[in-house]
Chain A
Amino acid sequence: MFGKAVSYELIWDFAVSETVEQSQRWILSAMQRHGQELVTMLWRVLGNEQDVCDAYQNTFLQLAHYEAQQKPEHIKAYIFRTANNVAISMLRRRIAEKKKLSAAVVAGKGVSSPTSELDSEYLQETLRCCIAQLPEHLRNVITLRDMAELSYEQIGRILGITPATARVYRCKAVQLLAVWMNKEKETKP
């Protein structure tokens, strides 16, 4: 009797694990379908290959543990929003660490000269810093539009807003970024 119960239990465990395996295959499908776009977006947001790999891993780990390993209704939306949030958190952490560790070095760089202002690296870093400070709704739109190169219709579907609203948000984000980038320039000696 006991032996029979054990064997039933084993069969049950095997069946459960099989179904979980079956149900989790969509993670690989999602990786295959959206991986390239996601890596491109993360690379543009973070600009560091190891950070990209970490953020990518974190995104799919969160996807695998989404509400008792259930498949989200809109996978693309979930992946992109999660990746965006993960990347921005990493970026903010990096900026804070940089500020803490090398405040003197950054100040010593003397960004006021026209050559450094036109320096692409400096421009990119400044833009990243400013993007990390944007309000969430504006930041989401600018990263999805300019970093992931999605259309306004796709952005609307991902964020649950209309394409026209996404356009307005992008316009506002650019205006805000312009003001902040200008301020940053003025505050630096």
Chain B
Amino acid sequence: MKTINTNNRTSFCKTSRSSGPNRCRQIRTRLYEAVSNRLGLNANWVRNHIANCPRCRRRLASVGKVNLALSALKSQPHKLDLLMRANTQAIGVLKHSLRREPRAEKLRAILPEPKLLERCGKYSHTAANVAACIVILLLMKIGVFSSVDKFRDQSQRAARQYYANHVGEDLADEIFTI
């Protein structure tokens, strides 16, 4: 019995490995979505309960208050030169040799820089517009060329038909096969 179980497990592992990590990720995402839909705060039965239960309502309100306070903390900006001042003060207590380093000089005058994602964020609209233009151009190009080909084929067929009717099939074949 034990051997069968082990075999089963091995075969399952093999299949799951063969399906790849993408499949696992998909399943995980679906499971998470399903669970959060059924058990999340936005689920209907949870909402109904909260609406009727003062205790849960109070708890939810207090958690909301904590989140609000955390957001308030995050949104509070500091002065631009704070990093510079902090560096200057910290370097001031290091060894003389370190204080004289060129890198220390740079740190004393450093200003906070936005992260790479934030820096790229402002170009996202431009990038999206450019991408959309490229796609439109590609579509136009494909559409125009395929239409030109189609138009040429149809006109050739019509001309061949005309010649076939008026001068005969043989002559039309001769003209249009060259």
Q: Interface of A with B (CB < 8 Å)?
A: 17, 20-21, 24-25, 27-29, 31-32, 35-36, 39-40, 42-44, 47, 49, 52-54, 56-57, 59-61, 64, 120, 123-124, 126-128, 146-147, 149, 174-175, 177-179, 181-182
Distance in angstroms between the alpha carbons of A36 and B118 in the assembled complex = 15
Within 8 A of A (CB), among B29-64: 58-59, 62-63
Cβ of A178: which chain B residues have Cβ within 8 Å of it?
A: 59, 62-63, 65-66
Chain B residue, CB-CB nearest to A56: B86
Is B90 in contact with A31, judged by CB distance below 8 angstroms? Answer: yes
When distances are taken between beta carbons in the complex, the residues of chain B under 8 Å from A32 are 103, 106-107, 110
Q: Is the CB of A182 within 8 A of B58?
A: yes
Q: What B residues does A52 contact at CB under 8 A?
A: 78, 82, 86
Complex CA–CA separation, A45 to B92 (angstroms): 23
Indicate if the CB atoms of B66 and A57 lie closer than 8 Å. Answer: no
Chain B at the A interface: SS class:
helix
Which residue of chain B has the shortest Cβ distance to A45 in the bound complex? B73
Instruction: Return B87 CB to nearest CB of chain A, in Å.
Output: 6
**Which residues does chain A contribute within 8 Å of B106, judged by CB atoms?**
32
A43 CB contact (under 8 Å) in B82, B90, B95, B104: B82
In the complex, how many angstroms separate the beta carbon of B160 from the nearest chain A beta carbon? 69
Chain A residues with Cβ under 8 A from B73's Cβ?
Answer: 44, 47, 124, 127-128, 146-147
| Given known A-B contacts A27-B98, A36-B113, A179 and B72 have beta carbons under 8 A apart | no
Q: Does B83 contact A (CB under 8 A)?
A: yes
Q: Does B68 contact A (CB under 8 A)?
A: yes
Instruction: State in angstroms the CA–CA spacing of A47 and B59 once bound together.
Output: 27
Bound CA span A43–B80, Å: 12
Task: Find chain A residues with CB under 8 A from B93 CB.
Answer: 57, 60-61, 64
- The answer to whether B103 and A28 have CB atoms under 8 Å apart is yes
**Residue B69 at the A interface, CB < 8 A?**
yes
- The 16 listed contacts between A and B (C-beta, < 8 Å) are A21-B95, A36-B83, A36-B112, A39-B78, A40-B78, A42-B86, A52-B86, A53-B85, A57-B86, A60-B90, A64-B93, A123-B72, A127-B70, A149-B74, A174-B63, A181-B66
Q: A21-B97, A52-B78, A181-B62 are in contact. Are A123 and B68 (CB under 8 A)?
A: yes
A28→B104 contact, CB < 8 A: yes
B101 within 8 A of A: yes
B11 interface hit (Cβ, 8 Å): no
State whether A35 touches B87 (Cβ < 8 A). yes
- Which chain A residue lies CB-closest to B95? A24
Does chain A have a CB within 8 A of B79? yes
Bound complex: CA of A126 vs CA of B98, how far in Å?
40
Residues of B within 8 A of A127 (CB): 66, 69-70, 73
Complex CA gap A52/B65 in Å reads 26
Q: Are A35 and B86 in contact (CB under 8 A)?
A: yes
Residues of A within 8 A of B62 (CB): 178-179, 181-182
User: Does B89 have its Cβ within 8 Å of any Cβ on chain A?
Assistant: yes
Q: When chains A and B are docked, how far (Å) is the Cα of A135 from the Cα of B76? A: 25
A75 to chain B, nearest CB (A): 15
Q: Tell yes or no: B94 within 8 A of A by CB.
A: yes
Which residues of chain A have C-beta atoms less than 8 A from B82's C-beta? Answer: 39, 43, 49, 52-53
Contacts A56-B86, A179-B62: A31 and B107 contacting too (C-beta < 8 A)?
yes
Cα of A105 to Cα of B69 in the assembled complex, Å = 23
